[in-house]
């Protein structure tokens, strides 16, 4: 994402915030769909005491989801927009929120899981390069894996300002980082979520180590 695209992103959400305030509409979606997305993100394997970095955290609603599910995580949120982060800090004063561009790689911390919802949805000069850059950084900074969602190209209607990614291409990008990938297209007809796992070791029978125990059952 170049500087003009970054500025446009900040302005877009600030304008929505002025119109809608603290609402999922500011983020561009409904409350019901937001909860479903958070559920799908969490199902990558987030458990109590895991550390989570939320890229494009907005109001910190992902943290709210984990609280409601009684999953106690070590949470950090990062977002470009100071208006959204200010609300997040008000609602979750115990959490760590950072106003910054994740692509800049400004910090050295690593996290069990890196989760991101909605950041790939708008058209840029080169969306696939942006996806590659961000996912590479996610993979570098995660200990267990990352999850990211996107609008799929398998749609019957397209908004001109939105980006609809080819799932096969996103899958191939993740395959550059890990052999162990899950592409989910089972929760909404026009959105996908991809899981990319850090541990992709496999045994002599070509079974990933995470599933070794199942061979003895």
Mean pLDDT, residues 7-16 taken together: 85
pLDDT tens column, 24-77:
788 766 677 889 999 999 999 999 999 999 999 999 999 999 999 999 999 999
| Fold assignment, 3-199 | Rossmann fold (3.40.50)
pLDDT tens column, 83-97:
999 999 999 999 999
Q: Give the pair of three-digit tokens for residue 119.
A: 């950041």
The reported pTM is 0.93
Q: What is the pLDDT of residue 217?
A: 46
pLDDT tens column, 119-152:
999 999 999 999 999 999 999 999 999 999 999 9
* Paired sense of beta strands 191-197 and 142-151, if any: antiparallel
Q: Give the pair of three-digit tokens for residue 209.
A: 């180590």
């Amino acid at each position: 994402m170049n500087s003009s695209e970054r500025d446009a992103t900040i302005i877009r959400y600030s304008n929505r915030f002025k119109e809608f305030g603290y609402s999922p509409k500011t983020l561009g979606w409904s409350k019901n769909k937001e909860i479903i997305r958070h559920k799908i993100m969490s199902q990558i394997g987030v458990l109590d005491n895991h550390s989570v970095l939320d890229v494009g955290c907005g109001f910190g609603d992902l943290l709210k989801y984990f609280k409601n599910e009684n999953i106690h995580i070590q949470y950090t949120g990062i977002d470009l927009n100071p208006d959204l982060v200010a609300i997040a800090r008000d609602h979750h004063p115990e959490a760590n929120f950072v106003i910054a561009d994740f692509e800049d790689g400004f910090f050295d911390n690593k996290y069990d899981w890196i989760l991101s919802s909605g950041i790939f949805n708008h058209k840029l000069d080169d969306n696939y390069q942006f996806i590659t850059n961000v996912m590479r950084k996610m993979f570098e900074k995660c200990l267990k894996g990352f999850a990211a969602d996107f609008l799929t190209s398998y749609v019957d209607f397209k908004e001109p300002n939105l980006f609809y990614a080819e799932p096969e291409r996103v899958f191939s990008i993740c395959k550059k980082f890990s052999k162990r990938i899950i592409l989910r297209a089972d929760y909404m007809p026009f959105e996908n979520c991809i899981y990319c796992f850090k541990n992709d070791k496999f045994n002599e029978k070509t079974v990933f180590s995470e599933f070794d125990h199942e061979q003895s059952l």
